[in-house]
A and B are shown apart, each in its own frame.
Chain A
Amino acid sequence: MEFDLENPLENLHSDDVSYLFLIESDHTPSQNHSQTLKARDLDISVRRELISLISQLSCALDPVLSYLAINYLDRFLTNQGILQPKPWALRLVAVSCISLTVKMMGTEYPATDIQALLNQSDGGIIFETQTIQRMEALILGALQWRMRSITPFSFVAFFIALMGLKESPMGQVLKNRASEIIFKSQREIRLWGFKPSIIAASALLCASHELFPFQYPFFLKAISDSSYVNKEIVEQCYKVIQDIAIEEEYSSALNGVSRSDTPINVLDHHFLSSESEKTNGITVANATDSPLGDLKRRKITGCGGNNPTILNSWIQPCERECEK
């Protein structure tokens, strides 16, 4: 049974739409802080380690939960940094972010399981409840108790409606691919400072450029015309996400040779385990294994390949690239 859910964003009531756009800045790691953090390689590597830890620990959960937990982490880092990271302290931060996410989203996740997560450490460290409580209190204070899930996923449906694809198969395909892009690009610190709506718009444009290149100009216009989105900032974010996607593609290709890049492997495992399940209406496919991934590889080799059929089918994109 499907209820006719009232979704203010999709109804395009201006008051309702502007609300989420107005408050999303409070749920975005500060750009000023990200500049400061970028200057500290130690903190960048610590963040990467924490993200891997969160993805690892929450791989059994809805991917949206792990995304929100990482959002809490990023906002906590911009507020506090990590002065003297120790393995057990990192684990406590990661688990506390997951715990807060689970509580905020109301998922039934038994306390014993969270306790089990805490005790997964090889070092055999067992945290007392009071310690977890203190870390949660610390994070809540740093984030000023703003724990709502204002993430790029909050805006995807709105932009799909703007693109005229509401409740269409094409819209669902774009949503799935954009969601995958959003998940994977979260690891990238270059996206700090971009608001969730900008990331959502940029991810959708990347997905449409990749999957429906001929309709792309139309979609770009639909999103650019929106008064809620700054066109120049979307363009900047789009370029960053595109770069990340390209690097991701190379890394995936390299995985065939060497699987030494832990974060990617962890995330690949994460998405593979979710691949067959519909989670929160999002079907997350692994690009490496999907036909699309195969197509992308052919596209690269096709430009200089001998296969006339493939070459012919990519004439237009190739010419466009040559013109640049």
Chain B
Amino acid sequence: MWNEESDWIGSFDALLARLAECSMCSRRSGERPGAAQMDVKILDVAAEGGYGRVFRCLDVHTGALVAMKQITMVRLSQGIPAQIIREVSLLRELHHANIVKLLRVGFTENRYVNLVFEHLDYDLHQFIVNRGYPKDATTVKSFMFQILSAVAYCHSRKVLHRDLKPSNVLINHSKRLIKLADFGLAREFADDFLYTEKLGTSWYRAPEILCHSRQYSTQVDLWSVGCIFAEMVIGQPLFQVINCRDELEGIFKLLGTPTEETWPGITKLMPNLHIYCSKFDPLGLETFVTDLEPSGLNLLSMMLCLDPSKRISAEASLKHAYFTDVNWI
């Protein structure tokens, strides 16, 4: 038994070494483990999270700045994390100017999965917090157009992002270029599939997810984009401003408690809707989102629409009057 397994593992490692030379896992034999295996030189740590770390690096071949996301596997009981497999698989086939480019994937020391991405200067969250949010209406419109272009592209490729929020929107400073990132919660959608995960950051989570519906689709991303839109205008998360016990209460306080008339099927979806039966009169988006031109407010209201079936799609958003003003291009 021991000999058999030992022998097999030996040949297994040989196979692994050979595979490491495939195009997605570029590597040279003999190099030191770690960053060198990924053909990058580490400059500093850009971010840390529960999953692992993000390093700012130099690409050894091109000299370009890159970002390496390193996920630790050592304590995981389930092998390679599902989030990584999905992120790579989906990004592998998403090629768009407004979606971050995945350059390489590799394993090091049998402990880490390393994802090498193109580098961008900062994310939208940092942009809003540190630079006093884009008060410039043209910048908001440009950012929104790029975000929606990327989302429309994903949806046309049958991919839901499911975790859209400012920190997952990256910005190239000099070009004012937007790129969507972090597809770890992304997944393909199909006609009859029930999704089982409750996910996404709470302030950006669509009401149908908060209602624990397991049957949702592209509309969840549009709700998140709407939250981002509002945040760019007012400088802080919309549903943080509306201070409530939970996110649903905040949503209903802003937009009004739904009824069978405004959201057909809601009483079946939310049997406990009576908890909110104090039936908020809607405060209205205009109460909080000031300084947004009327067509922008109209688009925002179509994104932050309670009934998913009536919510605007990314493709339709791009054709909205808010973007037809030629001046901003």
Contacts and interface: CB of A to CB of B under 8 A. Distances in A.
Interface of A: 1-8, 13, 15-16, 19-20, 23, 80, 83-84, 86, 88-89, 96, 99-100, 102-108, 111, 114-115, 125, 129-138, 140-142, 144-149, 154, 157, 280-282
A313 B124 CA distance: 70
A1 B16 contact: no
A142 B19 contact: yes
Given A147-B89, A148-B89, A6 B217 contact: yes
Contact of B190 (A86, A131, A145, A280): A280
A108 B198 CA distance: 12
B78 to A, nearest CB: 5
A1 B268 contact: yes
Nearest to A133: B79
Nearest to A147: B89
Contacts of B136: none
A26 to B, nearest CB: 8
Contacts of A282: 192
A96 B191 CA distance: 27
Contacts of B13: 134
A106 B12 contact: no
A72 to B, nearest CB: 11
Contacts of B121: none
B217 A5 contact: yes
30 contacts: A1-B264, A1-B265, A1-B268, A3-B219, A5-B218, A8-B155, A8-B158, A83-B11, A88-B5, A99-B78, A103-B78, A103-B82, A103-B85, A105-B187, A106-B197, A114-B78, A125-B1, A131-B9, A133-B73, A138-B12, A141-B16, A141-B25, A142-B22, A144-B92, A145-B92, A147-B85, A147-B88, A147-B89, A148-B90, A157-B191
Contact of A280 (B5, B9, B110, B192): B192
B195 interface: yes
A103 B86 contact: yes
B80 A133 contact: yes
Closest 7 CB pairs of A and B: A281-B192, A103-B82, A1-B265, A141-B19, A147-B89, A133-B79, A145-B88
Indicate the member of A2, A103, A111 with the most B CB atoms within 10 Å. Answer: A103
B145 interface: no
A138 B19 contact: yes
B254 to A, nearest CB: 22
Given A134-B16, A281-B191, A106 B269 contact: no
Nearest to A157: B191
Contacts of B213: 1
Contacts of B195: 106
A96 B85 CA distance: 13
B313 interface: yes
A96 B90 CA distance: 20
A136 B25 contact: no
Given A106-B196, A145-B92, A157-B191, A3 B9 contact: no
Given A1-B215, A3-B217, A137-B80, A16 B16 contact: no
Interface string B243-278: 000000000000000000000110011000000000
Given A86-B4, A106-B195, A144 B265 contact: no
Contacts of B78: 99, 103, 111, 114, 129
Contacts of A6: 155, 217-218, 313
Contacts of A281: 191-192
B189 A5 contact: yes
Interface of B: 1, 4-5, 8-9, 11-13, 15-16, 19-20, 22-25, 73, 76-82, 85-86, 88-90, 92-93, 105, 107, 110, 155-158, 187-193, 195-197, 213, 215-219, 264-265, 268-269, 308-309, 313
Given A3-B215, A111-B77, A145-B24, 6 more contacts: A15-B156, A83-B11, A88-B5, A103-B81, A106-B197, A137-B107
A146 B89 contact: yes
A132 B79 contact: yes
Contacts of A100: 85
Interface centre among A13, A20, A114, A148 (most CB of B within 10 A): A148
A146 B93 contact: yes
A80 B12 CA distance: 11
Contacts of A129: 76-79
A130 to B, nearest CB: 7
A103 to B, nearest CB: 4
A13 B22 contact: no
Given A5-B189, A106-B82, A136-B80, A130 B156 contact: no
A5 B309 CA distance: 8
A145 B25 CA distance: 10
A83 to B, nearest CB: 7
A138 B79 contact: no
A149 B86 CA distance: 11
Which residue, of B12, B78, B187, has the highest number of chain A Cβ atoms within 10 A?
A: B78
Contacts of B73: 133
Contacts of A149: 188
Contacts of A144: 22-24, 92
A145 B89 contact: yes
A102 B78 CA distance: 11
Contacts of A115: 77
B276 to A, nearest CB: 18
Contact of B93 (A89, A103, A104, A148): A148
A80 to B, nearest CB: 7
